[in-house]
Chain A
Amino acid sequence: MNTIINVKNISKSYSRGLLALDNVSLKVNQGKVLVIMGPSGSGKSTLIRTFNGLEAFDSGEINILGIKINQYHNERRIQKIRKRVGMVFQQFNLFPHLSILDNITLAPLNVQKRSRVDAEEYGMYLLNQMGISMHAEKYPSQLSGGEQQRVAIARALALKPEVLLFDEPTSALDPERINEVLDVMRKLAQDGMTMVVVTHEINFAKDVSDHILFMDSGKVIETSTPDIFFSNAKHERSRKFLNQLNK
């Protein structure tokens, strides 16, 4: 089994001396889904954003797809990672001045230098997969939140990434719209995509994930399989968190 993401002892502190990440280590293997859970402010988002260099860290090392990054921000290596790792954000972050199809083809055209015909064909294929090909010519503001998030997933997939990072992809959605996004993510997991997902969706975590990583105040509290985590969590802190969520 290939290790795709290998994080070794990374730490990050903010200027106030507050530790955002405290000696975090984790591994994600090829084709596996890691779900990161934890209360807000626990450093989940900070952690996932270090994987593609959106967030710098102070010590430790990340090896992702064989590319190593450390505290010295090496822009060229990070650029290499970003070409192979897709990311989906909580607030979709689509480009409002570009049509849906242009949002998706922007990176393939300019980063991978693919031909327009090729990029648009693949973009339409992805939109079809997401069930929103009829919106290709519209602009982001004309779509609902769930549709926008599916466009964002298609945009991340357009670069044919080997890993997908999801930073609370359903937290900004209406309850009725959450499932249309989760279904897309389930399908991706079934197709063997390696994924790291920060989420509060328990059912998604139970069904789809291979591992759950629970964090609190920058520390990894426990890592276990979903069966064990949801039925018989090792730590008092995890159990307390799960009780809160179930209420």
Chain B
Amino acid sequence: MYLKKIKNYIQKLKEILLLNSLNNFLTILLISTILILSIQSFNWVIFNSKWSVVTANVPLFAFGTFPEEQRWRPIIWIVSLFLISFLSIIPPKWKWLRKNLLIAWIGTIPLGIFLLYGGLGLQTVMSRNFGGLTLTILLTVFSSIFALPIGIALAFCRQSSLFVVKKLSSIYIDSMRAVPLIAVLFFGQLLIPLFLPLGVEIDRVWRAIFAFTLFVSAYIAEDIRGGLQAIPNTQIESARSLGLNQFQIIRFILIPQSLRIALPALTNQAIGLFQNTSLMSILGLVELLGVGRSILANPKFIGQYIEVYIWLASVYWLICTIMALIAKYVEKRLKIA
């Protein structure tokens, strides 16, 4: 009797000890690995790396070859973007501000065009001088602001009761989703000029924005459609019983509610779009990644690709994190509403 109990006890102890020793072993192994890795990378980052490749080229990373004395213009534009993003996440107390936020966001497009291209009293700057983070943000912001309404329209067309409208938008969405982004970008850069009549030329930046808008709007349409399907039919019924017509129901009930439901997916699209603008660096636009590549091609900085890519990764990381945080706050705010 006792013997059996003691045997059991020893058995259990053995199991615990064995398990514990394995646990301990793994913990020590992991900690030492992390320690060695961080000491190594710390050592490299502080003592072995030559950050001059980054510090010497900060203006290039930020603005590309934008004329030096005109750099305040992209700065103002980017600051205004951050300001509007910040205003979008403050608590819903300032009603007038919330109502005009949409106009403010749309207004960033003409403001951006005016500040970057110049004209009307400002010195004109050619789009080939756009570059770096400015160009990356330009591509992202313009493409998403254009793609959102197109995506919403496509989503509603796909739900339409008119057969032709429905089929056309389905075909558009499905074919866009079946083509890789890089192909659409090639189409924008290489084929659009062939289709245009002689003498008419569209800026390379605008061709890129056009291609991104075409591509992203198809994905946005599917996100919005998901949101539309999640709205219960009773919402439409009660709106109809109040005498609202079809257009008013879409505007006041369906669009706001589907956007709210689709917000996490739309954030994904925006972050994806921001990262995908880096594809333009292989199509001849010198955006953030393109600047990095052209700096590395400079004999002065040859072989310093680790520094450049670590720097680029952290810039991309920072901006994506900011975007995700903004979306998180907006989501939180909409949750009660």
Chain A residues proximal to chain B, CB less than 8 Å: 52-54, 79, 82-83, 86-87, 89, 91, 93-99, 106-107, 110-111, 139, 141-142, 155-156, 159
Contact = CB atoms under 8 A, between A and B. Distances in A.
Contact of A110 (B244, B334, B337): B244
**Max chain B Cβ within 10 angstroms of own Cβ: one of A53, A79, A86, A97:** A97
B253 interface: yes
B242 A89 contact: no
A110 B234 contact: no
B336 A139 contact: yes
Given A95-B235, A96-B337, A139-B337, A82 B242 contact: yes
B336 A141 contact: yes
A98 B337 CA distance: 7
Contacts of B239: 95
B244 A107 contact: yes
Interface in B242-290: 242-245, 248, 252-253, 256-257, 260
B240 interface: yes
Contacts of A94: 238
B201 interface: no
Contact of A54 (B237, B252, B337): B237
Contacts of B336: 139, 141-142
Interface in B290-337: 334, 336-337
Contacts of B234: 89, 91, 93
A93 B244 contact: no
**Max chain A Cβ within 10 angstroms of own Cβ: one of B238, B242, B256:** B242
A107 B252 CA distance: 10
B241 interface: yes
Nearest to B245: A79
A96 B257 contact: yes
A79 B245 CA distance: 8
Contacts of B334: 97
Given A54-B237, A139-B336, A142-B336, A97 B244 contact: no
A140 to B, nearest CB: 9
A64 to B, nearest CB: 13
Q: Which 6 A-B pairs have the closest CB atoms?
A: A93-B238, A107-B242, A82-B243, A87-B241, A111-B243, A83-B243
B44 to A, nearest CB: 51
Contacts of B235: 93, 95
A111 B238 contact: no
Contact of B240 (A82, A95, A110, A142): A82
Contacts of B248: 110-111
B65 to A, nearest CB: 46
A31 B229 CA distance: 40
A103 B291 CA distance: 51
A53 B240 CA distance: 9
A159 B238 CA distance: 13
A168 to B, nearest CB: 13
**Max chain A Cβ within 10 angstroms of own Cβ: one of B241, B256, B336, B337:** B241
B240 A54 contact: yes
Nearest to B253: A95
A72 to B, nearest CB: 18
Nearest to A76: B245
Given A96-B337, A97-B337, A106-B252, A89 B243 contact: no
A17 B242 CA distance: 32
Contacts of B256: 97
Nearest to A155: B242
Nearest to B234: A93
Given A54-B237, A89-B238, A95-B235, A111 B244 contact: yes
A89 B257 contact: no
Contacts of B257: 95-97
A107 B337 contact: no
Contacts of B243: 79, 82-83, 107, 111, 159
